Structure 1
Amino acid sequence: MTTCAIASREQAEPLAATAATARTWLLLEQPGPWGADALTASRLDREAGRALAAAGQGTGVRVALIRRPGRHADLGGAPRRRVFAAHTVPGRSWVRTWWTTDPASCAGLDFAALGRGEHGGVGEPYRGDPLALVCTNGRRDRCCALLGRPLAEELAASGGAGVWEITHIGGHRFSPTLLVLPYGYAYGRADAPSVKDVLASVRRGRMVTERCRGRSAWGRPGQAAELAVRELTGEDDAEALTLTDPVEPGPRWSVVVTHRDGRTWRVDGVTEPGAEVAASCGAVPGPQPREHVLAVSRLG
């Protein structure tokens, strides 16, 4: 049986502008097995999981569970869990971290403020290696387990202190997929050499456009627009570009991209049916929307 990842590759489905949208990520360590809906189908207390999911609704905060690569012991009790909060809007990106023995307490955070990029002093600044979060939840999609877990283990074995497995970042058919923080760029069809290049670039404040799905701070038209300007100009400074997402939803869109040196571009595009593939294993194949850039025009 052809997997969703194989089908997507065979159709040469573009990776650009397919990243999940989240201005802020809240990541809670949860060892042990994960179910398809990991917040309520893991060893995390189910009520706490429901409260976390509800707290993030409409705030721009996306909640996910993480764990270290390797064997996943079914741990009982209340071990200390690592928590990360990361805001991904250019010029205001940050990562905070702390430990907790009470995961339910995370539902009491000010999610609206976190979504706006206001951490309120929670935790402390994270100063470690860039976070490489590889999607591995096989209960959600088998491609994430078959392709994601070996990648996560290889990266960790090579000394990647910032490598974690994550429950869900969307785009199973692009497995192996990963999210890189602090900047929030997502990547697909990844392998260890390409991820190591990405992480080396992030350490220097740079990003890599190859295999990039987009920056999670933006909606999909914005992701397409940013990547188009980066391809045109060769700009790789992760924080150099900001943009205005289109206000009105619709098949045609226009996004203004601004460089911090004052240069601006208008990117015009259209949302259109893309490759006829299944969004995930077991789903019915259908045309997957894609963002097609029509023109990039220099404004100033």
Structure 2
Amino acid sequence: MSTCSTASRDLEEPLAGTAATARTWLLLEQSGPWGAKALTSSHLDPALGRALEAAAKGTGVRIALIRRPGRHADCGTPAIRQVYAAHTVPGAVWLHSATTRDPRELLDLDFAALGRGEHQSFDAVLAARPHAGDPLALVCTNGKRDRCCALLGRPLAAELAASGVEGVWEVTHLGGHRFSPTLLVLPYGYAYGRAEAHAVKDVLHGVQEGRVVVEGCRGSSAWERPGQAAELAVRSHARVYAADALSVVRTDGAAPRWEVTVTHADGRRWRVVVAQGASAPPRPESCGTSILGAPTRMDVVEVRELIRTTALAS
């Protein structure tokens, strides 16, 4: 049976520049089944889900539901839920955790401040603390969104958990189900596609060492799609793997062509030309539709290091 992920893999659709965009992630535990739009179609009160969506809109915060790997019988809701917030912009990365008995508490958060990378309201409202455990490995398993996420994502999450990997959660939606199984790793916010358990373990080991694994990476959620592709290209070109080393500081132009400026914490700078293209031949972008499409892709045309100028003493 052909699926959207099979077609994407067979046609070698590039992964770079396809990650969801979110400066800050807010994750709420919600067990049981999820619908296609999980915030309003799960055991979470749909009125609360709509209110959370409205509160987060335009703030740079993306909300997702998470659950433990395993079977998901229609068994109601946990009395105490895990909550995480993570900011992914380099130089200001953090991951805080909390628990709540009443998810309506999340409406008291300052979403605009969260999007800016300020965690004070999250800490105050939920008595949160910096996360002291292993990195979070969030595997998309929402089969109601696309069957590939269930067929490929759930076995990956189960395998990781069974092998003793800590911090594994199933998550509602990371975008790009044709790249299933898809994965988001926090705190740094890098997304991965076509993930396999051994590769995920390498990625998580890298996070613990403060470095980014480029293979299979879709990009950092801190940047828009051209910036994601540009940053990954610089990492490969200059062999820069430290997680906090690179920042996208400027993007000039508009579709279908951008010039992106990427800087290193040591002062180096690169100008990266990114062109938007259309993937060919047409293929299914989702298993939920029979319509063939040509997904947009981010192609890096040029990576050029800019010469640093220094003032000479007279």
TM-score tier after normalising by the smaller chain length? over 0.9
CA distance in 2, matches of 1:258, 1:78: 44
Contact 1:218 1:245 in 2 (8 A): no
Percent sequence identity over aligned pairs: 64
Q: Is the 8 A contact 2:64 2:173 kept in 1?
A: yes
Residue aligning to 2:283? 277
Which of 174, 178, 186 is the aligned partner of 2:183? Answer: 178
Structure 1 alignment gaps of length 5 or more: none
CA contact under 8 A between 1:219 and 1:245: conserved in structure 2? no
Q: CA RMSD in A?
A: 1.2
TM-fit CA distance, 1:247: 5.0
TM value normalised by structure 1:
0.97
Q: Contact 2:22–2:62 (CA<8 Å) still a contact in 1?
A: yes
Q: Which moved more, 1:276-285 or 1:250-259?
A: 276-285
Compared CA separation, residues 43 and 298, structure 1 to 2 (3 A): same
- Are residues 1:258 and 2:263 paired? yes
Cα deviation code 1:153-190 (max 9, x no counterpart)? 00001111200000000000000000000000000000
- For residue 281 of structure 1, what is the amino acid of its counterpart? C
Q: How does 1:107-186 map to 2 (within 5 A)?
A: 107-120=107-120, 122=123, 123-186=128-191
- Residue 290 of structure 1 corresponds to which residue in structure 2? 297
2:77 & 2:3 partners in 1: Cα distance?
37
1:135–1:297 distance in 2 versus 1, CA, 3 Å:
same
Q: How do residues 14-53 of structure 1 correspond to structure 2 at under 5 angstroms?
A: 14-53=14-53
Q: Which moved more, 1:243-252 or 1:118-127?
A: 243-252
User: Which of 167, 191, 214 in structure 2 is aligned with 1:209?
Assistant: 214
Q: Which runs of 5+ in 2 are unaligned?
A: 309-314
Q: Which residue is 1:8 aligned to?
A: 8
- Report how far residue 279 of structure 1 moved: 2.0
Structure possessing the higher radius of gyration over alpha carbons: 2
Q: Is contact 2:138–2:185 with CA below 8 Å preserved after alignment? A: yes
Paired amino acid for 1:51: A
Residue 205 of structure 1: CA displacement?
A: 0.5
SS at match of 2:85: strand
Count of aligned residue pairs for this structure pair: 300
List structure 1 runs of 4+ shifted beyond 4 angstroms. Answer: none
Kept after mapping to 2: 8 A contact 1:221/1:245? no
Partner of residue 241, structure 1:
246
1:235-257 CA-partner distances (Å, limit 9, x unpaired):
11000001124255321101111
Q: CA deviation at 1:105?
A: 1.6
Contact 2:86-2:95 at 8 Å conserved across structures: yes
2:91 alignment partner in structure 1 = 91
**Is the Cα–Cα contact under 8 Å of residues 250 and 262 in structure 2 kept in the other structure?**
no
DSSP 3-state at the match of 1:180: strand
SS of structure 1 residue aligned to 2:211? coil
Amino acid at match of 2:80: R
The offset of 1:77, in angstroms, is 5.7
Matched residues in 2 for 1:279 and 1:111: separation?
A: 32
CA distance in 2, matches of 1:235, 1:78: 42
Amino acid at match of 1:293: V
Shift of 1:278: 2.1
Residue number in structure 2 paired with 1:199: 204
1:67-100, Cα deviation, whole Å (9 max, x unpaired): 0000123333651000000000001010111000
